[in-house]
Structure 1
Amino acid sequence: MPVVVVTESQTCIPVSVAQELGVVVIPYILHLDDHSYRDGVEITAEEFYRLLPSLKEPARTSSISPGIFLETFRGLSGRADGILVVTIASTMSATHANARLAADSFNDIPVEVFDSGTAAMAQGLVVMEAAAAARSGLSLRECLEVARHAAEKVELYAYISTLEYLKKSGRVNAVKAFAADALSIKPVFRFKEGEAQLVSKRRSEEKARLFISRKVADHYRERGPLKVAVFHADARLQADELSSLIRQRVEVQGELLVTEFTPVMGCHTGPGVVGAAFL
C-alpha cells in the first residue's frame, strides 16, 4: 500500500490535481457572520470573495483540530503504509501543532508531519512534489525528504490590491494603509521561511505583475525550467496577464497552473491578490 499525502484546503490545489495525485485535503472552517462553512466543500473561493464585501464582521477561520486529523488518519490506516502531512507554516497557524498532537497519539501506521514553512500554492507545490514521489512508490522517509527539498526551493511572490482588509484585521497600521491606498501603492510580498517580507512597492498593479514576472525569470536563469502556479483572489484577468508575462520570460516545466488564492488568507487580504509560486 502507498504513502498518502495529507494537507489543508488553504493550499488551493485544483481538485483535479489533488485527485490525480491521491492527495487528501482537509478543509478549514470559514466563519462568515453567523454561518460557518467547510472551505472548498460547502463554499468555493469564488463564492467566498463574492460574499466578503457584504459581511458585517471580519471573516474568520478555525485551525484544523487534532481530532479532525485523527479522524483522517484512522480513515487512511486501512489503505496506506504511511501518512505524510504537509502543513502551512507553523508561524501562521496552530494547524501544524495540532497535526503533531494527532500524530503523536496515533499508532496504527507511521505518520510524519512536515512544516512547509510556506502557504497557499507554494505549499501546494511542495505537496504535489511529495505526492508524486508517493505515487512512484517511494517510502515515507523518502517522500519526507522530497517535501523538505521542495520547501527549500519553493518561492512565492504576490501583491495586494487593497489594504482595506488588512487594516480591518489590525495587521497593518491604519495611517500607513490610508497613505498607501491614497497613492495607489501596491505592496509586493515574498513569503519564505514562515514570514511575509515586503520586497517592493509599485505604483500600479501592472507594474507589480511585471516585478513578479521578473523575479520568476531571475530564478529561471539560475535554475532552468520551473514548475509554476499563478493564483488570484477574484482577479482571473490579472492572473492571466501575469501568466502571460511569465510564459514570455520562463520555460515552464509541465502545465502552468492558475488557481484561486486561499480564502483562509483572503480573510485578511481581501480580493485582488495576485501572485506566483514556483520551484
Structure 2
Amino acid sequence: MTIAIVTDSTSDLRPELRAPYGIRSVPLYVLFDGKMYRDGVEIQPEDLFRGLKEGKKTPSTSQPSPAEFAAVYREALESADQVLSLHISGQLSGTVGSARLAAQEFGDRVTVVDSRSVSMGLGMQVLRAAERVAEGRSVPEIVAELERVAAQADIRFTVDTLEFLRINGRIGGAAALLGGLLNIKPILTVKQGRVESGGRVRGHKKAIQDIVDHVRRYVETHGGARVAFLATVGGEEYLREVRAGLSGVPFEDMGDHPIGAVVATHAGPGTVGATLEPITA
C-alpha cells in the first residue's frame, strides 16, 4: 500500500525538504497590484514588501480551487494507492474546504486533514506524516498520531509592526497607532486552529525573551521537543537572537524556515517565532 502526501504552500516547506518524500504542494494565491500570483512559485515575500514600499496596494490572499486539488490528487494516484492531504487550519483559510470538495471524486482513496495550524505548524505535521509513510504506517495510524501531536503542539511568535494586523482586520487602527507609539509587541499563538493573543510586552528584547522562555518551558515540560524556527523577511537577525538565547537547551532542531508570501501578507516583515511539538506522540 503506497501513500502520497499532499499539502499546500502555507506549510512553508522548501522544495528540498519535500523532495526526499515526494511531497506535493498546492500553492495558494496572492492578489497584489491587480494580479494573481501563485505563492512560492510566482511571488516571494520580498516582492510584497518591496512593492508596498513603492506604494502598491495592500495584497490579499485566496485558496486554490477544488479543480486544482483534484488535478494533483489524480496525478498522485497514478503511482500511489492513497493520498493523505494536510492543510492550513480551516479557521484561517478555505483551503481545506476546497481539498475536501475535490476529494469527493476519489472516495476513500483521498483523506483530507485539517492541521488546525499554519506555517511550520502545518509543515512539521507534513514531515511527520511523510516519516510515518516511509515506516510503512497506514493512513488511519498516521492521522491518529497527527491528532495526538496537534493537541500538544504549539506556535509562539511576535510581529515587528502592528500595521499588517491592522490592514488585515486583526486589530483596530487606534490600537495599532497606540501600540506603535508605546513600542508594544504582541505575542501571538495558534490554538485550536485560530490565531490568538498570548500577551503583549513593551520592546523588542522582551518579545524575543518571551519566545526563548516559552521554548525552554515547553522542552522542560515535554522532556524534549522538535522545534522549527520561522521568520519573515527582516526577521533573520531576530531569529539569531532567539537561537542565542536557547544555547544549551536540548531539543531536536528542525531548522530555520522563511515564511512564505501568503502568511507574510498577514504577519508583515520582521516576524519571528518558534513551532514546537513533542518528539513522540
TM-score (norm: length of structure 1)? 0.93
Contact 1:58/1:169 (<8 A) preserved = no
Shift of 1:79: 1.1
Q: How does 1:129-278 map to 2 (within 5 A)?
A: 129-234=128-233, 235-248=235-248, 250-253=249-252, 255-278=253-276
How far apart are the structure 1 equivalents of 2:247 and 2:55? 37
- Secondary structure in structure 2 of the residue aligned to 1:275: strand
Structure 2: unaligned runs, 5 residues or longer: none
Shift of 1:43: 2.3
- Secondary structure in structure 2 of the residue aligned to 1:147: helix
- Judging changes above 3 Å, is the alpha-carbon distance between structure 1 residues 239 and 173 closer, same or farther for their aligned structure 2 residues? same
Contact 1:52/1:270 (<8 A) preserved = no
Contact 1:3/1:134 (<8 A) preserved = yes
Residue type of the alignment partner of 1:56? K
| Correspondence for 1:121 | 120
Contact 2:28/2:262 (<8 A) preserved = yes
- Judging changes above 3 Å, is the alpha-carbon distance between structure 1 residues 232 and 52 closer, same or farther for their aligned structure 2 residues? farther
- Judging changes above 3 Å, is the alpha-carbon distance between structure 1 residues 26 and 185 closer, same or farther for their aligned structure 2 residues? same
- Secondary structure in structure 1 of the residue aligned to 2:198: strand
- Secondary structure in structure 2 of the residue aligned to 1:106: helix
Shift of 1:278: 0.9
% of aligned pairs identical?
29
Deviates more, 1:12-21 or 1:110-119: 12-21
Runs of 4+ in 1 over 6 A off after TM superposition: none
How far apart are the structure 2 equivalents of 1:143 and 1:61? 30
Shift of 1:244: 2.4
- In the TM superposition, what whole-angstrom CA distance separates every residue of 1:102-133 from its partner, at most 9, and x where no partner exists? 111224x6111111111111111111111111
- In the TM superposition, what whole-angstrom CA distance separates every residue of 1:135-175 from its partner, at most 9, and x where no partner exists? 11111222212222222221100001111122223321111
Contact 2:45/2:264 (<8 A) preserved = no
How far apart are the structure 2 equivalents of 1:256 and 1:105? 35
How far apart are the structure 2 equivalents of 1:150 and 1:53? 40
Q: How many residues align?
A: 276
Contact 1:2/1:135 (<8 A) preserved = no
How far apart are the structure 1 equivalents of 2:17 and 2:211? 25
Contact 1:127/1:147 (<8 A) preserved = no
- Judging changes above 3 Å, is the alpha-carbon distance between structure 1 residues 137 and 17 closer, same or farther for their aligned structure 2 residues? same
- In the TM superposition, what whole-angstrom CA distance separates every residue of 1:163-198 from its partner, at most 9, and x where no partner exists? 112222332111111100000110001111112221
- Secondary structure in structure 2 of the residue aligned to 1:105: helix
Q: How does 1:1-20 map to 2 (within 5 A)?
A: 2-20=2-20
Shift of 1:200: 1.8
How far apart are the structure 1 equivalents of 2:49 and 2:3? 35
Q: How does 1:86-105 map to 2 (within 5 A)?
A: 86-105=86-105
Residue type of the alignment partner of 1:275? G
Structure 1: unaligned runs, 5 residues or longer: none
Contact 2:40/2:260 (<8 A) preserved = no
Shift of 1:55: 4.6
How far apart are the structure 2 equivalents of 1:155 and 1:246? 17
Contact 2:120/2:230 (<8 A) preserved = yes
- Secondary structure in structure 2 of the residue aligned to 1:143: helix
- Judging changes above 3 Å, is the alpha-carbon distance between structure 1 residues 243 and 99 closer, same or farther for their aligned structure 2 residues? same
